[in-house]
């Protein structure tokens, strides 16, 4: 018996079951009579049949030409009807049992009513009338069961006769009467429940039926009730449905549902799935529980790969892994020490190890002669652009044609010569580009960067410090080389060196929540001698290191730094990075930002609104919160000064799921038509964030149109966003657009610089990398990746002052989002193992009956393979069993013991 509850735990029998009868069941039909009511289409035909007029239907049955077997069945059923009314109880019993058997074993096509129901239709009234005359007995209950099923097609919906006779009948398994009967019964229960609720009538008899129906529909609001009905046959489908449903539930209901999903996965030892839910919930105690519950070291290796991809710092202890050698090996995987090796394995397999020069990307020979003169318009600016293009294209490959070539191989192309082809702050980006080229290869990277630490040029030293941070991005090391090298430079007098060291620490330790940086960096915020740019980058680095931590001490320090700024400083573009650093502390934490948001209302009016917007945008980033999107859209109607930041905030919130994303793209189109100029400048960047590394054709066309806008800032934002849209995809259409733009803007050095940056992004890692912060089939959002993207996009909101000024090295924050877009399968010893896989477009199979295909339009390849946004892979062989439910990144395969060679 289930007690009536209130709130989320209340068993709404049922709105829930009413919904269930409309959708597809989440339970397989294996427990139902497989021959009765073959599909949902049958239900439609049943209802249509019900609405035919009685005389016409009766006449049709009597006059139509029946097959011999159908005629025999009709006569047999009519005989049963006569025998049921016989005074002899034994004959009655035999007739009722025979009629039950005929109905249960009948077959139906997709569009027709089962024949026993069709032939018994004229006798429904007769049987009902006789039922009323029967004495109370088991036979009367048998008769009620039959009438309950016949009422499915013959009774008016409002009369709920199917439910009426079910309650009067025997208490057998309702599933034996077929799926459509259960669905119809569920709908009638919902109507009856509402009626009794208004009359305050007892519900006990309904609740007993609900207990049976739950096993077939699995759609109740009482989560404890659901636990009783989950078993090995249905838990995967149930969890898949609940996980998908949670995105559309308000808090805290969504977290309650996902907690239940995690519990179910742990109960049935589906540990990789449980780990992914734990990461989505951002509950490290659940992650620890997964490690302690699992005893298989091989599975724990796969857990570590998932943690490494997510980008969180996680320390294993003896309770999680008892064996010290195993613990050390697993910790190395979490620390991403093998990332560079796996990435280069992919590159060698695809045969793209050959370094590329910026000219290989520009492909000037495909254009007309206009651009030949454009190269000398602003050579320093174009050399700087080439530095970034070179860094992005050769990221992680360890070799290029500008920075890593030996001096004797090409005197004009040696790293020293290229470095000094850049001016002042350009040298910072040039030196740091070496870190990007040697990305994830810490030993080699530090060795090659070491020579720049002995330079007499402070800008070169600053670049080397930033390069050290970039090399160590996503890589953890027990020796802590980044801290050892960068720690002492944060106290230097020179502002460029301090910024290099501070940015390096922010990139190297993003998401680590390491307390030692609080003592190291917080004092800089209150240093009266520190320049505004140093304070701004310190705030950003603290935001990155403590991203999503809600650290109160760091938040207080940034708030004080904001309050200490003078009127003139508040108008500087870099000041906006301070509220952003504050917002990153609360990334994705929703209502936990409220106290800080209240404090922000006391700030100077010049920064107050921007700070409030930034805090709310960051706190609800990646949540898909519809109310927050509405609030931000309302701000756009009020003519506020900071509307551009609200546009970016809308994209940050709406990027969580596909439906919200598509709606937001359409909303941004409207803003382009009717929005003010500062809104139009932000729209391209918002589109770039929504579709990052996902070149949607409609967005591509919009950005192409905006790249020719009369407002140069709109055009620059559109060009950069084209680069983000195609980041790491080698998309030929975007590459062609950018080549044409380089010809179009050959006289405008600023826009040409943006075009070059975009070209470098499109060919990021020669097409092997992605900037998409989502992974694991677009289920998990990496907080550090999103933080890096947000930082760059906020800088791009004032392109001329920051990116085109002397702070162009903010573009290196993109390294936080860079990850190989690969599937690399490894054996039990973590050595690469090539197996056939099918790669196709992912299909949503939530709630679908049977075993539907999860991909469509697939092609079969051998691993390692590249995965585009929206792609999904599955093994094309049964020889191995993958230890991860989602084939992305590093996946461990173990041999299938049941596999036999054909």
pLDDT of 3 > 70? The answer is: no
List, in sequence order, every residue forming a beta bridge with 893; answer none if it has no partner: 882
Alpha helices in 335-404 (DSSP H): 339-350, 358-362, 379-393
Query: Residue 891 — very low, low, confident or very high, per pLDDT cuts 50/70/90?
Result: very high
pLDDT for 640 equals 63
Higher-pLDDT residue of 209 and 285 is 285
- Alpha-carbon 381 to chain mean position: 38
| Per-residue confidence (pLDDT) for residue 480, from 0 to 100 | 85
More confident residue, 99 or 300: 300
Confidence of residue 732 (pLDDT cuts 50, 70, 90): very high
Selection from 343, 393, 389, 360 nearest residue 763 by Cα: 393
Q: How far apart are CA 131 and CA 300, in angstroms?
A: 64
Average pLDDT over residues 770-782: 91
Task: Output the six-digit token pair for 758.
Answer: 């975009």
Give the span between the Cα atoms of 280 and 258, in whole angstroms: 9
Instruction: Judge whether residue 40 has pLDDT over 90.
Output: no
CA distances from 225 to 268, 707, 819, 853 (A): 18, 56, 42, 31
Reported as a pLDDT band with limits 50, 70 and 90, residue 106 is low
The CA distance from 815 to 813, in Å, is 5
For the chain, give percent helix, strand, coil, nearest 5.
Answer: 60, 5, 35
pLDDT over 80 at 765, yes or no: yes
Between vectors from CA 618 to CA 613 and to CA 622, what angle results, nearest 5°? 125
Query: Which of the listed ranges 266-275, 414-423, 630-639 does the model predict with the highest average pLDDT?
Result: 266-275
pLDDT score recorded for residue 638: 66
The set of residues, in sequence order, having a beta carbon less than 8 Å from that of 80 and lying 6+ positions away, is 95, 96, 98, 99, 102
pLDDT score recorded for residue 215: 59
**Beta partners for residue 774, in sequence order:** 781
Give the separation between CA 127 and CA 573, rounded to whole angstroms. 84
DSSP designation for 352: -
Average pLDDT over residues 565-587: 88
Q: Tell whether omega for the bond before 340 is within 30 degrees of 0, i.e. cis.
A: no
The per-residue pLDDT for 17 is 34
Q: What percentage of the chain reaches a pLDDT higher than 90?
A: 36
| Residue 885 near residue 857 (C-beta atoms within 8 A) | no
* Angle at CA of residue 421, ends 739 and 406, nearest 5°: 95
pLDDT at 397: 92
Residue pair 472/436 in contact (Cβ under 8 Å)? The answer is no
Angle CA 312–648–600, to nearest 5: 80
For the segment 177-186, the average pLDDT, to the nearest whole number, is 71
Q: How confident is the model at residue 1 (pLDDT cuts 50, 70, 90)?
A: very low
Residue 104: helix, strand or coil by DSSP? helix
> How far is C-alpha 109 from the chain's CA centre?
40
Q: Which of 207-216, 250-259, 344-353 has the highest mean pLDDT?
A: 344-353
CA distance 611 to 215: 50
Per-residue pLDDT band for 47 (boundaries 50, 70, 90) equals very low
237 band by pLDDT with thresholds 50, 70 and 90: confident
Q: Report whether pLDDT(53) > 50.
A: no
CA–CA gap between residue 882 and residue 837 (Å, rounded):
11
Residue 572 pLDDT grade (very low, low, confident, very high; cuts 50, 70, 90): confident
Least confident of 63-67, 324-328, 784-788: 63-67
Query: In the prediction, which pLDDT does 902 show?
Result: 66
Rounded CA gap, 104 and 148, in Å?
13
Q: What is the pLDDT of residue 346?
A: 92
Q: Residue 392 has which token pair?
A: 């992005």
pLDDT for position 738: 92
Q: What is the mean pLDDT of the chain?
A: 81
Residue 297 φ then ψ, to 5°: -65, -35
Check if the beta carbon of residue 178 is closer than 8 Å to that of residue 33. yes
Residue 21 reports pLDDT greater than 50? no
Nearest 5°: phi and psi at 440? Answer: 75, -10
pLDDT in tens, 701-713: 999 999 998 989 9
- Tell me, what's the pLDDT at 368? 64
- How confident is the model over 436-442, as a mean pLDDT? 92
pLDDT over 70 at 176, yes or no: no
pLDDT of residue 369: 56
Is residue 13 over pLDDT 80? no
Q: Is the pLDDT of residue 621 over 50?
A: yes
CB 470 within 8 A of CB 436: yes
pLDDT score of 565: 84
Find all residues with CB under 8 Å of 497, minimum gap 6, and list them. Answer: 458, 461, 462, 465, 489
d(CA 332, CA 319): 18
Weakest-pLDDT range from 151-160, 445-454, 468-477, 492-501? 151-160
Closest CA to 816 of 395, 412, 527: 395
Provide the phi-psi class of 316: left if phi over 0, else alpha when psi is between -120 and 50, else beta: beta
In degrees, rounded to 5, the angle at the alpha carbon of residue 162 between the alpha carbons of residues 160 and 164 is 70
What's the pLDDT score for residue 576?
A: 85
Task: Provide the pLDDT for residue 641.
Answer: 62
Q: Smallest Cα–Cα separation from 132: which of 121, 143, 119, 118?
A: 143
Indicate if the pLDDT at residue 280 is higher than 70. Answer: yes
pLDDT tens digits, residue range 832-870? 999 999 999 888 888 777 788 888 888 999 989 999 888
Which of 31-40, 195-204, 372-381 is least confident? Answer: 31-40
What is the pLDDT confidence band of residue 22, given thresholds at 50, 70 and 90? very low
Structure tokens at 56: 């016409």
pLDDT on residue 894: 92
Report the number of secondary-structure helices (H) and strands (E) in the chain: 43, 11
Mean pLDDT is lowest, of 1-15, 106-120, 506-520, for: 1-15
Tokens matching residue 171 = 């208490």
- 668-717 confidence digits (pLDDT tens): 888 888 878 888 889 999 999 999 999 999 999 999 999 998 989 999 99
Confidence bin at 411 (pLDDT 50/70/90)? very low
> Which among 128-137, 299-308, 374-383, 594-603 has the top mean pLDDT?
299-308
Identify the pLDDT of residue 406: 59
CA–CA gap between residue 18 and residue 15 (Å, rounded)? 5
Q: What is the mean pLDDT of residues 350-369?
A: 83
Is pTM beyond 0.95? Reply is no
In this predicted structure, which of 171-175, 286-290, 442-446, 466-470 has the lowest mean pLDDT?
Answer: 171-175
**Region 171-191 average pLDDT:** 71
The arithmetic mean of pLDDT across residues 440-464, rounded, is: 90
Name the pLDDT band for 155 (thresholds 50, 70, 90).
low
Say which residue, 60 or 167, is predicted with more confidence.
167
Render pLDDT for 367-387 as a digit per residue (tens, 0 to 9). Answer: 765 554 444 444 788 889 999
Q: State the Cα angle at 443 between 437 and 446, rounded to 5°.
A: 65
């Amino acid at each position: 018996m289930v007690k009536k509850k209130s709130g989320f735990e209340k068993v709404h029998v049922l709105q829930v079951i009413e919904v269930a009868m409309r959708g597809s069941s989440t339970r397989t039909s294996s427990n139902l009579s497989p021959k009765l009511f073959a599909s949902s289409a049958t239900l439609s035909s049943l209802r249509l049949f019900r609405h035919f007029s009685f005389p016409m239907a009766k006449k049709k049955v009597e006059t139509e030409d029946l097959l011999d077997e159908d005629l025999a069945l009709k006569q047999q059923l009519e005989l049963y009807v006569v025998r049921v009314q016989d005074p002899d109880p034994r004959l009655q019993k035999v007739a009722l049992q025979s009629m039950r058997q005929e109905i249960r074993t009948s077959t139906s096509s997709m569009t027709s009513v089962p024949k026993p129901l069709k032939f018994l239709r004229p006798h429904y009234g007769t049987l009902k009338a006789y039922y009323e005359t029967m004495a109370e007995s088991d036979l009367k209950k048998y008769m009620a069961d039959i009438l309950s099923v016949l009422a499915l097609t013959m009774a008016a919906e409002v009369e709920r006769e199917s439910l009426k006779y079910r309650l009067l009948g025997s208490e057998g398994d309702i599933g034996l009467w077929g799926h459509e009967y259960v669905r119809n019964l569920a709908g009638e229960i919902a109507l009856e429940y509402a009626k009794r609720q208004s009359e305050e009538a007892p519900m006990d008899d309904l609740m007993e039926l609900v207990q049976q129906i739950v096993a077939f529909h699995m759609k109740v609001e009482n989560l404890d009730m659901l636990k009783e009905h989950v078993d090995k046959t249905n838990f995967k489908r149930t969890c898949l449905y609940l996980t998908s449903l949670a995105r559309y539930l308000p808090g805290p209901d969504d977290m309650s549902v996902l907690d239940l999903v995690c519990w179910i996965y742990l109960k049935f030892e589906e540990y990789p799935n449980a780990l992914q839910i734990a990461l989505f919930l951002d509950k490290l105690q659940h992650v620890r529980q997964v490690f302690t519950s699992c005893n298989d070291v091989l599975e724990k290796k796969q857990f570590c790969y998932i943690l490494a991809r997510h980008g969180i710092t996680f320390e294993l202890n003896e309770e999680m892994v008892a064996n010290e050698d195993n613990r050390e090996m697993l910790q190395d995987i979490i620390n991403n020490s093998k990332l560079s090796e796996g990435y280069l394995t992919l590159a060698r397999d695809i045969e793209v190890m050959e370094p590329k020069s910026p000219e290989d990307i520009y492909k000037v020979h495909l254009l007309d002669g206009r651009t030949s003169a454009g190269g000398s318009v602003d050579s320093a600016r174009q050399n700087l652009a080439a530095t970034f293009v070179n860094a992005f294209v050769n990221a992680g490959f360890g070799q290029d044609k500008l920075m890593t070539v030996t001096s004797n191989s090409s005197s004009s192309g040696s790293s020293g010569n290229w470095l000094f082809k850049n001016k002042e702050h350009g040298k910072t980006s040039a030196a740091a580009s070496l870190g990007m080229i040697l990305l994830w290869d810490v030993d080699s990277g530090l060795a090659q960067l070491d020579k720049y630490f002995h330079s007499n040029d402070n800008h070169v030293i600053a670049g080397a410090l930033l390069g050290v941070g970039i090399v160590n991005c996503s890589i953890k090391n027990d020796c802590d080389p980044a801290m050892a090298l960068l720690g002492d430079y944060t106290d230097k007098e020179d502002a460029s060196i301090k910024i290099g060291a501070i940015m390096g620490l922010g990139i190297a330790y993003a998401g680590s929540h390491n307390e030692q940086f609080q003592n190291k960096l917080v004092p800089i915020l209150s240093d009266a001698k520190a320049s505004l740019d140093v304070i701004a980058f310190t705030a950003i680095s603290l935001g990155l290191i403590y991203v999503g931590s809600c650290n109160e001490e760091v938040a207080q320090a940034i708030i004080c730094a904001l309050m200490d700024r003078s009127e003139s400083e508040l108008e500087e573009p870099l000041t906006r990075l301070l509220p952003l650093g504050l917002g990153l502390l609360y990334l994705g934490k929703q209502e936990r930002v409220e106290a800080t948001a209240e404090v922000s209302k006391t700030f100077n009016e010049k920064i107050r609104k921007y700070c409030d917007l930034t805090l709310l945008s960051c706190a609800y980033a990646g949540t898909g919160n519809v109310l927050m999107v509405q609030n931000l859209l309302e701000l756009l109607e009020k003519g506020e000064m900071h509307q551009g930041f609200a546009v970016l905030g809308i994209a940050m919130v709406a990027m969580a799921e596909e439906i919200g994303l598509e709606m937001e793209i359409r909303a941004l189109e409207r803003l382009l038509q009717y929005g003010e100029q500062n809104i139009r400048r932000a729209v391209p960047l918002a589109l770039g964030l929504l579709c990052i590394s996902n070149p949607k054709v409609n967005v591509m066309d919009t950005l192409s149109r905006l790249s020719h806008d009369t407002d140069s800032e709109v055009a620059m934002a559109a060009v950069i966003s084209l680069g983000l849209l195609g980041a790491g995809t080698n998309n030929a259409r975007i590459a062609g657009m950018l080549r044409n733009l380089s010809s179009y803007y050959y006289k405008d050095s600023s826009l040409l610089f943006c075009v070059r940056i975009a070209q470098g992004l499109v060919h990021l890692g020669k097409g092997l990398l992605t900037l998409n912060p989502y992974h694991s089939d677009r289920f998990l959002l990496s907080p550090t990746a999103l933080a890096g993207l947000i930082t760059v996009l906020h800088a791009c909101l004032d392109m001329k002052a920051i990116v085109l000024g002397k702070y162009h090295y903010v573009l290196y924050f993109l390294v936080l989002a860079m990850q190989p877009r690969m599937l690399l399968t490894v054996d039990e010893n973590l050595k690469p193992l090539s197996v056939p896989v099918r790669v196709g477009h992912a299909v949503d199979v939530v709630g679908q009956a049977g075993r539907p295909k999860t991909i469509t339009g697939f092609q079969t390849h051998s691993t390692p393979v590249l995965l585009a946004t929206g792609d999904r892979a599955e093994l094309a062989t049964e020889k191995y069993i993958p230890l991860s439910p989602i084939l992305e990144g590093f996946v461990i395969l173990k041999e299938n013991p049941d596999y036999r060679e054909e």
